[in-house]
Structure 1
Amino acid sequence: METTSSSPFKPRQKDKDEDKFRIGATVAFIVVIIGIGVPMWWHTTTVYRVTLPSSEILSLSEAPIKTAVKVAIYTKELSRGQLLISELESAFSDSDIWVVKFKQLNATAKIQEAHTPAVLEKLLLKEHPQRVGDFMLIEWPNLQEELLLTTERSALMREDTSANKIAQLLHSKILQTYRINQILSTDERMGTKSEAPQPAYDVIVSVLNPKPRLTHAQWNVAMAVRTYIEPWLAQVSAVSNYTVRTQWKYRVSIEADLKQVRDQGRLGRHYALQESSLPHLLTSIAQNLSASTTDKPAINLVVYIPPCHTAPLHIYNSKDQRLTRNGVDAFISPPWGAFIIANPPEHVCLAALNDQEPVPYYVSTTDNMQIMLDQLHKLLDISSELQMDGVKVVDIEQLEPRRWEYESYLRRTAIRHISTASNTLQSLIKLLDQISYIVIDDDVGAAITKSYADILGAKAALVENRLADASALAKRAFVASERGFFDPSLLAQLYFPDEQKYAIYIPLFLPIMVPVLSSFNMLRSVLQARRKEKQS
């Protein structure tokens, strides 16, 4: 009896002990694989992405760019000044861009005794100092024009100048609203938009002399650049920095069809260069000009000295009309640069055509540098070419650009930098949201966050009439946005998407997961058997 009663009990106890070990081993295996292995794999394969203010950046375009401007008005009669201000405030009340604050200047006894516009302006500025971006309208009798723009932040107006004319002047010349609309418009029909100014440029002044043995042109171009170009660029360096260098290039001729034209000069002829050939001319000489030694964009300023057998050389349009202006043949090709034809004097070419010894001569520094400065005005988009009836602009008598013109350029580039940086950040955020496996490291995150903060700061500075601060902040925002957008680290895993990652890891983990799934099945069977045993 004892033998028969004890034999079935021992195997059952042994099976239960084995089941405990099997269950324990299975649970440990599952915990290691799923509880430790899978999280570790997930963590090590997760793309590192810094947290960004994505929603705030995408909503940047919802807040329009508003710019405050202060305009002071001086009139001899207070009632006329009040009427002008009332009409001007009404003209600018519905503007989506400008917040123009008009102020009437009171006249003291000393101001009323001023006998010249210059003295009057000096006294007004002493009583009412201006900030960067401000403007002043000064009434002065006996003007020929309705409005006379000075080289400072002011304009003289006649006693009968209307508020409508003043509003046209402010919109067209001072604020340049039509250009701002082109920058902010999303309508492609507004025309091709120029690129935002870069933070740095290389300005390369090249003198081309194809026949140095026959044309003995002498010119200290380095000294001319130091005297004229470098001081002028220093005045406009708030937006971009400029590095200037000079070079002479010999045996570089232009590749263009020249047509001989008879004239009444001492040489009896000159040569015509068709305006349609100018793009091909630039292509032919561009490959012979040494490129910029840095990654900065280059502005080429070329002075071409034609040999006497093709001199003098003049530019003609398609109607065979000579385009020489003030004795100068020149043209610009933004953003590449500009071209000046410096023809040798007639006596030099007469000697050369009569087989005489080459006559050395000096290239005119004043003439060529004045042309070059005018070309830089246009290449950097500083000059205001729009003409208005009844409005005259005082000629520049100094190297510095007109103050109101340059500050209009500052205002315009600040808005362009803000708009470009905002569009760049929004495009980058949309790209990062669409492609989840692009790495966003700390440097990219810092650049994006810094650019966003500077955009907000620049917008606030514009509204608060702090043009200098707005220009600096907008430039920083633009540079940071470009650095973030073009950072090489964004391409680190661009060609390693999630699908490819799964294709690589599934063959690795699938053999491991088969025993795990089998263990789940075994564990389920054991638990079911125990449940039935308890129920029985």
Structure 2
Amino acid sequence: METSSSSPVKPRRKDKDEDKFRIGATVAFIVVIIGIGVPMWWRTTTVYRVNLPSTEILSLSETPIKTAVQVAIYTQQPIRGQLLIAELQSAFSDNEIWSVEFKQLSSTPKTQEAHTPAALEKLLLEENVQSVGDFMFIEWPKLQEELLLTTERSALMRSDTPSNKIAQLLHAKILQTYRINQILSTDERMGAKSEAPQPAYDVIVSVLNPKPRLTHAKWNIAMAVKTYIEPWLAKVSGVSNYTVRSQWKYRVAIEADIKQVRDQSKLGRHYALQESALPHLLTSIAQNLSASTTDKPAINLVVYIPPCHIAPLHIYNSKDQRLTRNNVDAFISPPWGGFIIANPPEHVCLAATSDQQAIAYHVSTTDNMQVMLDQLHKLLDISSELQMEGVKVVDIEQLEPRRWEYEAYLRRTAIRHISTASSTLQSLIKLLDQISYIVIDDEVGAAITNSYADILAAKAALLEHRLADASVLAKRAFVASERGFFDASLLAQLYFPDEQKYAIYIPLFLPIMVPVLSSFNMLRSVLQARRKEKQS
């Protein structure tokens, strides 16, 4: 009897010890898998994202871009000046884009002694310090036109010029309100919008001479570029930096239909190049021009010297009207560049047609460089082509552009950079909200944050009458926004979205989780058995 009563006790203790070890092992396994493994997996597969001011960036459009401008007015009669200022203030009082401050300049003994408008303009500009973007109207009674725009920050006006004409000039030429509206408008019907100026460009000046043996054209193009193009670009480098180089290209023929036209010249003919064929012409020569060696966009300035068997060559429109202006045939194709046809002199081609020895000649530097500078005005979108009745613009007599024209370009470009940078950041934030597995590293986050801060600073500078500072800040904001939007790191995990992450890791973890779940079932059974044992 004793043997039978003592034998069942030992197995029960053994079972209890085994249950303890089994429970301990199961709990340790669960803690390692769920407490350490799952958080570690979740941490290592989480996409890294820097905190961004997303809400603030999306609300950038709620604060409009407004620019402060100071306009000074000088009249010989103070009463007329007060009246003009009162009417102009009324015209600009409710403007959403401009905050214009009108200032009356008082007459002094020196100004009354000025006998020419140029002397009066020089005196007033010296006595009244202007900031970048300011403007001044100077009354001169004997003026033929209602308004005469000078090359400085000033315009001469006649004594009978009304305030609405001054306001019209401010909107159309000085402030260029219609173009600012195009930049700020979200309505596609406002017309095509040009791209924001890039921070750097390559300017490539090419001279094409298809028949160098027959056309002995001589031209020190490198010296011409250093004398004309480089100084001019240095004056407009406030928005973009320019790298200039020149080159000669030989045996580059244009591929376009050319028609012979009889005329009264000594040669008895010239050749017509149809305006509709110009795009094909550019396509045919573009492949022969060496491309930019950097990733900067290129501006091509081409001077084509036609051989005498197709010279002189002139451009005609669809109505068979010759488009030669000032004895020059040229055209531009934004943003690619400009094209100039430099026809050889008549006596050179007369000698060539008479089978005489080819005559060497020099290409006119002045004529071609003046045309090239005019093309750069238009390609860089600096020139103001809008014509107004009763308004005349003084011709440019110096290399640099008109001061008011360039500062209007600065103002317009600053607003364009702010608008473009804001749109870029908002698009990026919306994209990041939609695609959660895009990585935002520290460098991209810094670019976005810095761009946002520069946008706010540029807006404040425009409103505080600091156009030069606003231009620098707006350009910096634009560059940072582009760098953040097109950074290659944003694409690092686009090929590995959350769906693929779960599809790959679930088959890996599922076999491990099966014993974990079985262990939970075993724990439940052991605990229930112990509870029943205690109750019994």
For 1:123 and 1:394, the matched residues in 2 are separated by: 19
Pairing of 1:63-142 with structure 2 (within 5 A): 63-142=63-142
By how many angstroms is 1:96 displaced? Answer: 1.2
2:505 aligned residue: 505
Q: Which digits, 9 at most, give the CA deviation of each residue in 1:82-101, with x for residues without a partner?
A: 11111111111121111111
Unaligned runs of 5+ in 1: none
1:53 aligned residue: 53
Q: Which digits, 9 at most, give the CA deviation of each residue in 1:244-277, with x for residues without a partner?
A: 1111111111111111111111111100000000
For 1:75 and 1:48, the matched residues in 2 are separated by: 65
2:386 aligned residue: 386
Question: Which residue identity does 2:304 align to in structure 1?
Answer: Y
Report whether the alignment pairs 1:279 with 2:261: no
Q: Tell me the SS of whatever aligns to 1:65.
A: coil
By how many angstroms is 1:22 displaced? Answer: 1.6
For 1:110 and 1:290, the matched residues in 2 are separated by: 58
By how many angstroms is 1:2 displaced? Answer: 5.4
1:226 aligned residue: 226
Report whether the alignment pairs 1:177 with 2:177: yes
For 1:278 and 1:4, the matched residues in 2 are separated by: 115
Q: Tell me the SS of whatever aligns to 1:178.
A: helix
Question: Which residue identity does 2:295 align to in structure 1?
Answer: D
2:531 aligned residue: 531
For 2:40 and 2:492, the matched residues in 1 are separated by: 22
Q: Which digits, 9 at most, give the CA deviation of each residue in 1:67-119, with x for residues without a partner?
A: 11111111112221111111111111121111111111112222222222222
2:375 aligned residue: 375
For 1:492 and 1:151, the matched residues in 2 are separated by: 52
Report whether the alignment pairs 1:161 with 2:161: yes
2:34 aligned residue: 34
1:319 aligned residue: 319
Question: Which residue identity does 1:384 align to in structure 2?
Answer: S
Q: TM-score, normalised by structure 2?
A: 0.98
2:491 aligned residue: 491
By how many angstroms is 1:485 displaced? Answer: 0.9
Q: Which digits, 9 at most, give the CA deviation of each residue in 1:196-253, with x for residues without a partner?
A: 1011111011001111111100000110110000000000001001111111111111
Q: Tell me the SS of whatever aligns to 1:196.
A: coil
For 1:123 and 1:202, the matched residues in 2 are separated by: 40
By how many angstroms is 1:14 displaced? Answer: 3.1
By how many angstroms is 1:9 displaced? Answer: 3.8
Report whether the alignment pairs 1:521 with 2:521: yes
Q: Tell me the SS of whatever aligns to 1:233.
A: helix
Q: Which digits, 9 at most, give the CA deviation of each residue in 1:24-63, with x for residues without a partner?
A: 1111110011001111111111111111111111111111
Moved more, 118-127 or 521-530: 118-127
For 1:126 and 1:331, the matched residues in 2 are separated by: 40
Q: Which digits, 9 at most, give the CA deviation of each residue in 1:151-209, with x for residues without a partner?
A: 00000111111110011000000000110111111111111111110111110110011
1:354 aligned residue: 354
2:191 aligned residue: 191
1:421 aligned residue: 421
Question: Which residue identity does 1:63 align to in structure 2?
Answer: T
Q: Tell me the SS of whatever aligns to 1:375.
A: helix
For 1:459 and 1:100, the matched residues in 2 are separated by: 16
By how many angstroms is 1:304 displaced? Answer: 0.5
Question: Which residue identity does 1:349 align to in structure 2?
Answer: C
Question: Which residue identity does 2:306 align to in structure 1?
Answer: P
Q: Tell me the SS of whatever aligns to 2:207.
A: strand
2:12 aligned residue: 12
For 1:524 and 1:443, the matched residues in 2 are separated by: 52
By how many angstroms is 1:15 displaced? Answer: 2.7
Question: Which residue identity does 1:122 align to in structure 2?
Answer: K
Q: Tell me the SS of whatever aligns to 2:518.
A: helix
By how many angstroms is 1:296 displaced? Answer: 0.7
Pairing of 1:199-210 with structure 2 (within 5 A): 199-210=199-210
Unaligned runs of 5+ in 2: none
Percent identical across equivalent pairs? 88
Question: Which residue identity does 2:533 align to in structure 1?
Answer: E
Question: Which residue identity does 1:39 align to in structure 2?
Answer: P
By how many angstroms is 1:66 displaced? Answer: 0.6
Q: How many residues align structurally?
A: 536
For 1:79 and 1:518, the matched residues in 2 are separated by: 99
2:149 aligned residue: 149
By how many angstroms is 1:12 displaced? Answer: 3.1
Q: Tell me the SS of whatever aligns to 1:285.
A: helix
Question: Which residue identity does 2:320 align to in structure 1?
Answer: D
For 1:20 and 1:86, the matched residues in 2 are separated by: 97
By how many angstroms is 1:5 displaced? Answer: 5.1
Q: Tell me the SS of whatever aligns to 1:247.
A: strand
Q: Tell me the SS of whatever aligns to 1:34.
A: helix
1:400 aligned residue: 400
1:338 aligned residue: 338
1:295 aligned residue: 295
1:216 aligned residue: 216
By how many angstroms is 1:3 displaced? Answer: 5.0
Question: Which residue identity does 2:115 align to in structure 1?
Answer: H
For 1:111 and 1:167, the matched residues in 2 are separated by: 25
Q: Which digits, 9 at most, give the CA deviation of each residue in 1:402-453, with x for residues without a partner?
A: 0000000000000111111111111111111111111111111111111111
Question: Which residue identity does 2:350 align to in structure 1?
Answer: L
How large is the Cα RMSD of the aligned pairs? 1.2
Question: Which residue identity does 2:449 align to in structure 1?
Answer: T
Question: Which residue identity does 1:112 align to in structure 2?
Answer: Q
1:237 aligned residue: 237
Q: Tell me the SS of whatever aligns to 2:205.
A: strand
For 1:528 and 1:191, the matched residues in 2 are separated by: 79
* CA distance 1:79–1:534, change in 2 (3 Å): farther
For 2:394 and 2:485, the matched residues in 1 are separated by: 44
Question: Which residue identity does 2:395 align to in structure 1?
Answer: D
For 1:288 and 1:128, the matched residues in 2 are separated by: 53
Pairing of 1:462-501 with structure 2 (within 5 A): 462-501=462-501
Q: Tell me the SS of whatever aligns to 1:276.
A: helix
Q: Tell me the SS of whatever aligns to 1:299.
A: strand
By how many angstroms is 1:278 displaced? Answer: 0.4
Q: Tell me the SS of whatever aligns to 1:194.
A: coil
For 2:526 and 2:34, the matched residues in 1 are separated by: 21
Question: Which residue identity does 1:326 align to in structure 2?
Answer: N
